[in-house]
Amino acid sequence: MAQSAVSLPEIRYRSSSVNWAALWMYALLGIVIFLVMVPLTLMLLNSFQLARPGQPPVYGLKGWQQALSDSSMAAAMKNTVLLSVTRESIALVIGVMLAWLIARTDMPWKSGLEFVFWVAFFLPPLPVAIGWILLLDKQFGIVNQWLQLLPFIKSPVFNIYSFWGIIWVHLTTNLGVKVLLLAPAFRNLDAALEESSRSCGVTALGTLRRVVVPLMAPAILVSTILGLIRSLDAFEVELLLGVPIRLYVYSTKIRDLVTFEPPQYAPALALGTMLLVVLLLLVAIQRLYIGRRVYKTIGGRGFSTRQTFLGAWRWPAAITVTGIAVAVTVVPMLVLLMGTFMRAFGYFNIPNPWTIEHWQRVLSDPLLLRALRNTLVVGAGTAVIGTVFYSLIAYVIVKTRFPGRAALDLLSWLPWAVPGILMGLALLWTVFATPVLLPLYGTVGVLVLALIIKSMPFGVQLSKSVLLQLGDELEEASRIVGGSWLRTYRSVILPLLGPTLITVALIGFMSAARDISTIVLLGSSESRTLSLLSLDFAYGGQFEKATVVAVLTAGLVIAAAGLTRKFGGKLGIAGSNN
């Protein structure tokens, strides 16, 4: 007798097979709760724990007292806020304009320029920072040397080791975030709204300011929140450029508290908890703000996507956007590549300044080979395990009536509100407090676990977006012929999700290859990835080796970005091909 075409949770009490399916969904919810909530809860609880891991617990308020009263911690938090707000404000103004030009105008070269900013989003910050050191170092930076050739300039003009130097380096990633998130939202805006404004005599820029930007408020707010979180996520640039001038931020302060002897876990956890509370309040305010407003940009009468014609400004706009894209992405990477062939990093005027010796040394160094292997293992593990995990979560949220699907949706999104250094710190304590996880400490396994958690929001949301487009009749047909939910998922859903899953896997690989902040507290000498090895070399002053490793890391990320663009273009996530 044919099985009736009803959804899984409706029949979960009619047969043992459906009961097993329900149990698997509860198990999935339990796993997500453990991965997301347990580390954050332990971070809060152990901020009151004064003893070192493995010793009898001693509870008190000393950690919080130190976090609240230590002047260096207050200065670090102040620097964090100032850096984050300043660079986000600059990136927001420029990013909105870039996204509008790429998505809503007839500017030439749009597809290629959008891809450059797509790459900028995933480009590791450390290689970019090293490239800018070669350009803007106060002593040997190429730009400073060229400028001092002018008769009216007697001293260096730029100094990359400064507050504004850190902001400049971060513009690469921040502008990438803005274009990546805002360009698709701009494309979904009905052109009739702009046409009405233009018919009243308002200029294109006036329409952008008075009509488009207010209608885009939700997307702009989301990109701003995410940009702030990514700013707080920053670690390696601040470590490389800030520590030499004693400019500390909360992430570098947490790293010092945890890694220096004796480690001070309580104040580090208290500092992390305070920041986490602020972030969660910020996200809650954002959701409340959007939830109380209605922003309808697509109406039922039809949807117009006619572009804004720039006229005489068409080519100047293209040249300006190209200049920005080249300046923040291409220039530092080309200079970085050049730096790998320098005999002494930054010294262009010595006799015979060029050599391939650094490539020969690094490529034959066992440290590099081990780091490359670790990177590939961590990247592949994050990509494969994470993709399957994310697709299961998305399937339960979208395609079932599981009672816990709303909680599962919220929990899968939460890691986006937690900066990497906090997630790494929380997971570090979870490993210490969980005997079954303790053997993972210092191995690539714990790095994979951390990166799977960190990449969960993007992977789940992207999988959800495609599952929402799949009709329920496909699964119903499978169940009518006797297919279980697992067989239906494996034989029907997964093949249809193929391009999406490839994209999710590639993005997971890129995130794993570039990430430093999430894994810096979890890695050991045996589990160093290329990004961590490059940081070790750069922070230790071995810039010649650091540049080679940084180029290899950036090469992996750019190659994965190209593949992601190819598959993502079919899903509409990699931009328009116009």
List the domain range (segments joined by +) for residue 246. Answer: 76-295+306-339
| Percent of the chain residues topping a pLDDT of 90 | 13
Structural domain contains residue 203? yes
Average pLDDT, the chain: 80
Average pLDDT over residues 468-480: 65
Instruction: Report the helix count and the strand count for the chain, using DSSP H and E.
Output: 27, 0
Rounded CA-CA distance 54/263 in Å is 13
Per-residue DSSP letter, 242: I
Q: Are residues 318 and 387 in the same domain?
A: no
Q: Are residues 32 and 104 in the same domain?
A: no
Q: Are residues 191 and 331 in the same domain?
A: yes
Contact 112, 316 (CB under 8 A): no
Q: Are residues 200 and 262 in the same domain?
A: yes
Structure confidence by residue, pLDDT tens digits, 13-23: 344 444 666 78
Q: Are residues 399 and 470 in the same domain?
A: yes
Q: Are residues 282 and 135 in the same domain?
A: yes
Q: Are residues 168 and 84 in the same domain?
A: yes
Q: Are residues 157 and 262 in the same domain?
A: yes
Structural domain contains residue 71? no
Closest of 216, 213, 226 to residue 173, by C-alpha: 226
Binned at pLDDT 50, 70 and 90, residue 163 comes out as very high
Q: Are residues 173 and 106 in the same domain?
A: yes
Average pLDDT over residues 341-356: 81
User: Largest Cα–Cα distance in the chain?
Assistant: 93
Structural domain contains residue 213? yes
Structural domain contains residue 563? no
Q: Are residues 314 and 399 in the same domain?
A: no
Rounded CA-CA distance 290/271 in Å is 29
Most trustworthy range by pLDDT among 17-21, 28-32, 340-344: 28-32
**pLDDT(350) > 60:** yes
Structural domain contains residue 53? no
What's residue 185's pLDDT? 72
Q: Of 483, 499, 527, which residue sits at a domain end?
A: 527
**pLDDT(267) > 80:** yes
Q: Are residues 129 and 184 in the same domain?
A: yes
Structure confidence by residue, pLDDT tens digits, 78-132: 999 899 899 989 998 898 889 888 888 888 988 888 888 888 887 888 888 888 9
For residue 85, give the CATH number of its domain: 1.10.3720.10
Of 52-61, 240-249, 391-400, the range with the lowest mean pLDDT is 52-61
Structural domain contains residue 259? yes
Q: Are residues 42 and 100 in the same domain?
A: no
**pLDDT(454) > 60:** yes
Structure confidence by residue, pLDDT tens digits, 43-73: 888 888 887 766 788 888 888 988 888 888 8
DSSP 436-477: TTGGGTTSHHHHHHHHHHHHHHHHHHHHHHHHTTS-THHHHH
User: How many other CB atoms are there within 10 angstroms of residue 15's CB atom?
Assistant: 11
Look at the chain and report how many structural domains it folds into: 2
